[in-house]
Structure 1
Amino acid sequence: MPLARSLSVTSLSGLEEWDEEFDLEDAVLFEIAWEVANKVGGIYTVIQTKARLTAEEWGENYFLVGPYVESNVRTQVELIEPTNPVLKRTIDQMNASGCKIYFGRWLIEGSPYVVLIDVGFTAWSLDRWKRELWEHCGIGVPWFDREANDAVLFGFLTAWLLGEYAAQSEESPHIVAHFHEWLAGLGLVLCRQRQLPIATIFTTHATLLGRYLCAGSVDFYNNLAQVYIKFTDIITPNGLNVKKFSAMHEFQNLHAQSKSRIQEFVRGHFYGHLDFNLDKCLFLFIAGRYEFSNKGADVFLEALARLNYLLRVNHSDVTVIAFFIMPARTNNFNVETLKGQAVRKQLWDTAQTVKERFGKKLYESLLVGQLPDVSKMLDKEDFTIMKRAIFATQRQSQPPVCTHNMLEDSSDPILSCVRRIGLFNSSSDRVKIIFHPEFLSSTSPLLPMDYEEFVRGCHLGVFPSYYEPWGYTPAECTVMGIPSISTNLSGFGCFMEEHIADPSAYGIYILDRRYKGVDESCNQLTSFLFQFCKQSRRQRIIQRNRTERLSDLLDWRYLGRFYIAARHMALAKAFPDTFIYEPEETASTAGFRYPRPASVPPSPALSRHSSPHHSEAEDNEEDERYDEELEAEKDRVNIRQPYTMPVKNKVSAVLGANGDGEGDVNGDENGDGDEVTSEKN
């Protein structure tokens, strides 16, 4: 059987081979989400990066279903005729009945087929479908909620598509329908209500209930058992398509290039107050949707205030610049911020002008065979130009905290907290704050960098989230070799804590927000930041190498097997005569277990020297011999235990509900039987 038609995963080094294998010749997979070829949030990243692996497994029988958005289709989708005869008859029949369905290839890795539904074209059926939803399912939908109305239209059209496909098939196909989030979940409800012979999977990536309960300072996690209506069956971690560099130093070079661009922005932003050494400046950042407490911005700001105190009392020469990349309501760029970048460019032009004049005089002096008289190399005009440039850099006000004009400056949570802790970018502060209330773009006149370039240029990502079902931001940092701070309340943090013996040695710091209060968590975060500031440049380079080494653990080649297991469960429950799924029972999740790095001492490092005298190696760290390739190979080989597929009971599923998504695998053929649930770690 061709590899693309066999449901199996080949393990990489250190992992067991998965023995389960299903014949998928007669199986069809429809993956339904509102963010198919339509970027709204993190679900788009999940589906886009996972598409290549899924397309390799299912081949021509894998179809993504999403909304038709013309602006996105023009740049992301190649419209073609359906290659599947059953699907072609299905689309033709629906188009003849008053729908508008498009078929094409999504122009991403894997080039998966997409079925795009124009929900606006069938808006005339909205009232009728809302009434049907209330009469048959008891679900009421607000009349003037645009998002809910789109979900109703999309759900009914998706259920229509699946039912029509089953009806158009000459033989009874094994259909798997995988629904992502509530915007697509109505189709699953209708499939069950109509008793379609379909294996269904539902994945939730986050919930509004969870967001509001956590933001409302409710003791959410201790009362989670009372909130859960149903438990999940399997945790499905989110992965990324990891592209490894041929040489380990390449991503370090990218870090240096991006860091220099951030330094240029800092030179302009802090003009007139640039009294710190940029070579001893660390760039920290937090990014994501603007949820002040859920994303941990409150804890981060408090920890920065305490870090500033520690750096000052210890007379540290390290300066920390913390970036907050969170979109908020603004009306324009801050004039003072734009002026800073203009002054920086003017200074650069002035320096280039003086350099050319200096170089020309030096050249003329050398031509006649004389050493130049340094006192005559710069004339009065040169000094006048330089003095004007210096006077232009002087200003009385402090460098701005926010790069934009906020519409709600007085009530903004970040700015209000900055006023409380008193970090106003003064010269005496060792911690500076820059709030960029807009997503990064390479076309920005202020900080012309896209998000990936910016992350590569920073030294540490800080994500002390209180509600973070998975957390792509620290995962992206890991893949790019940038250390990060996460929490044991995030799916990513729990996953890394479970699969790495010593996460901090690899640059993955796990903040305890589950069993510690806010003040204790702030102190722990402050300790992490202060210890990071005390690292030498060479220590940070070694740590980045270790962090990048973990990228294999986040590759879809590993994590895709959890989705495969979910489809196994759904097929086995919907079609028990054809598919059998009996995973081994395990007490806990076993996985790709990284040990402590071989280059890390086996006992905690002491804060004092082991002898009263310094050695030459201690005085000159750069002379110490360190073979990073050899150390990396030791860490890869020394895997503590093989990988097995986890099966959690209901209690552990509740306690471990930190994943990016939770999936219901509804396997009853008649739509009213047992349900299997799954959860993302």
Structure 2
Amino acid sequence: MAKKNSKTDYIFETSWEVCNKVGGIYTVLSTRAKSMQDLHKDKVIFIGPDVWTKEKSPWFEEDENILADWKKVASAQDNLKIRIGRWDVPGKPIVILVNFNQFYSRKDTIYAEMWNEFGVDSLHAYGDYDESCMFAYATGVVIESFYKFHKLEKKNVVAHFNEWMLGMGALYVKKHLPRIGTLFTTHATSIGRSIAGNGKPLYNYLAAYDSDQMARELNMTAKHSVEKAAAQQVDCFTTVSDITARECKQLLHREPIVTPNGFEKDFIPTGEAHEKKRIAARKALINVTEKLLGYEIENDALLVATSGRYEYRNKGIDVFIDSMARLEKIKQLQKDVIAFIMVPAWIDGPRADLQERLAKKKIPKDQLNHPYVTHWLRNMNHDSVLNQLDYLKIENKKEDKVKIVFVPSYLNGSDGIFNMTYYDLLIGMDLTVFPSYYEPWGYTPHESIAFSVPTITTTLAGFGLWMRKMGDERGMSDGAEVIKRDDYNFIEVSEDICNRIFEMTTKSEEQEVLLRESALDRAGLADWAHFYKYYEDAYALALDEAQERNKI
């Protein structure tokens, strides 16, 4: 264990998702920033990719006065193309955005260096590997420039790198700045995600998998190689949950420490403001559904949602749709159930015919064609969600109690249909369902209960396992249900979800209020006030290792 006798003076943290909202890692970093700033005011420096060439980043506030002296030197002497400002999130930490295009001309030299020093095999790289690694390498150069300019050799400095995309940054710092304590976090192993995404059973056979062999089989050699090297070389290797820790130990050959993901809920409305937002969200969700389907929806309809990245099997989208088809067959179902699939896909744009209807107050008397999708997709005939809806003959007829609405756009406030953010719509839901097969943590159920929305998840989600540890009661009475899931129990999971949703349709208004309060109570146990201490331990451990290394 760390001695914890050294105060951390500077923290550098790098990720592809700094000021770049792509997935769950953005939530991890952006919500943790406030806790970091509270303890290390402006000694926390985030580094992200400057990919904003055609439009301005909505999350970055440039300030040319911050670190101005160093920036001049970094530009003139180190030839770095950087912008400095603050991340527009609670805590407003300092952020450096780096343009990494200049490193492409040195790509072969960089890859050769990584092969010779750390055995990173970039030979069969493809896709986003080059882009990620050039950015990662650039972050290492940025840290080196800052470190040397400010003469931090006698300071306690840690550098934290997230996911395989930043692996080369961790390796660069390990080689060139050995006094820095390095950390590397795997939020999901590249090979584990690939095994699961290719329909192979990950959990029942985890102990038998040879990760290097699987990387070759699944054409993942380069990504797996850099991730494995970073995991093994850094001073402190971490991951987000117990379930992913087991995966890391088997596939990356090093046991990580667990730093669970917290949530900063200061921005969530409370009291009267919460109720106003909830009413507005329900109104918007029902209005879009009515204009799409061409008939009135009862105000007491149960609004259910799933969301996240479009990983059809890994996120359990297939199970969610299947459970809704089962629910429709329950004869005792009295309430309308509107199930929203809020998963960004490859869209062509918002439906003009739906926009036309939304501009009018009157509810039309006929359905639109494809009455289950709010935005046109570029691959309508080959989309997994649409194909499953077609296979199960879900048509959203008036006589159907269960209706499914696919919202395949990023809900950033300007999608053309709702024009509301995901959080502004989430608050109007009665229930969320995340039947994940592969989910290292699971911010979606975590966010849900933080917004006082009861949720269903599985034992294959890190957050689900954490809730089980905290004492998950059977059923929805505590605001959350964690369903046992394994490699082969798809039908049982679908039936269980179906039954839980049916239960929710029988609740009185008073019971629903109590459930929302229970969900919020549970969320209070999983915020950064409880979880940031794990990061402090990780920083101390990394510093201890660096200090021991430099005694030699």
CA contact (8 A) 1:199 1:669 kept: no
- Please list the CA deviations of residues 182-221 of structure 1 after superposition, one character each: whole Å capped at 9, or x if unmatched: 1211121233344722211101112332222112221101
Give secondary structure in 1 for the equivalent of 2:205.
Answer: helix
Q: Does 1:300 align with 2:320?
A: yes
Which amino acid in structure 2 is aligned with residue 307 of structure 1?
A: L
Q: Equivalent residue for 2:194? A: 212
Per-residue deviation, 1:330: 3.2
Of residues 178-187 and 147-156 in structure 1, the stretch that sits farther from structure 2 once superposed is 147-156
Q: Does 1:260 align with 2:243?
A: no
- Residue of structure 1 aligned with 2:22, choices 12, 26, 40: 40
Q: Equivalent residue for 1:546? A: 518
Aligned pairs for 1:263-278 within 5 A: 263-271=286-294, 273-274=295-296, 278=298
- Please list the CA deviations of residues 521-542 of structure 1 after superposition, one character each: whole Å capped at 9, or x if unmatched: 1111111111111112221111
- Please list the CA deviations of residues 88-137 of structure 1 after superposition, one character each: whole Å capped at 9, or x if unmatched: 55971564133224433334322222233221244433333233333433
CA contact (8 A) 1:66 1:117 kept: yes
Q: Equivalent residue for 1:473? A: 444
Greater length-normalized contact order (CA 8 Å, ≥ 6 residues apart): 1
- Please list the CA deviations of residues 488-531 of structure 1 after superposition, one character each: whole Å capped at 9, or x if unmatched: 10111111121135273221111211386111111111111111
- Residue of structure 1 aligned with 2:354, choices 318, 322, 337: 337
- Residue of structure 1 aligned with 2:108, choices 106, 111, 127: 127
Question: How many angstroms apart in 1 are the aligned matches of 2:49 and 2:76?
Answer: 15
Q: Equivalent residue for 1:447? A: 418
Q: Equivalent residue for 2:381? A: 410
Give secondary structure in 1 for the equivalent of 2:382.
Answer: coil
Per-residue deviation, 1:466: 0.5
Q: Does 1:201 align with 2:183?
A: yes
Distance verdict in 2 for CA 1:574–1:396, change over 3 Å: closer
Aligned pairs for 1:16-415 within 5 A: 22-24=5-7, 27-70=9-52, 71-72=55-56, 76-81=60-65, 83=67, 92=73, 95-141=76-122, 145=126, 147-165=128-146, 167-168=148-149, 169=151, 171-194=153-176, 196-225=178-207, 226=209, 227=211, 228-243=251-266, 248=271, 250-271=273-294, 273-274=295-296, 278-310=298-330, 313-314=331-332, 316-334=333-351, 336-338=353-355, 340-342=357-359, 344-346=360-362, 393-395=364-366, 400-415=371-386
Give secondary structure in 1 for the equivalent of 2:477.
Answer: helix
Give secondary structure in 2 for the equivalent of 1:321.
Answer: strand
Q: Equivalent residue for 2:486? A: 514
Q: Equivalent residue for 2:404? A: 433
Give secondary structure in 2 for the equivalent of 1:423.
Answer: coil
Identical columns (%):
28
CA contact (8 A) 1:399 1:425 kept: no
Question: How many angstroms apart in 2 are the aligned matches of 1:220 and 1:511?
Answer: 18
Question: How many angstroms apart in 2 are the aligned matches of 1:126 and 1:560?
Answer: 37
Normalising by structure 2, we get a TM-score of: 0.83
Which amino acid in structure 2 is aligned with residue 484 of structure 1?
A: T
- Structure 2 unaligned spans of 5+: 212-250
CA contact (8 A) 1:31 1:178 kept: yes
Q: Does 1:485 align with 2:508?
A: no
CA contact (8 A) 1:103 1:116 kept: yes
Distance verdict in 2 for CA 1:397–1:568, change over 3 Å: closer
Distance verdict in 2 for CA 1:450–1:54, change over 3 Å: same
Which has the larger Rg? 1
Which amino acid in structure 2 is aligned with residue 205 of structure 1?
A: H
Distance verdict in 2 for CA 1:395–1:203, change over 3 Å: same
- Please list the CA deviations of residues 130-179 of structure 1 after superposition, one character each: whole Å capped at 9, or x if unmatched: 33333433334369846322333233333334445555527533221111
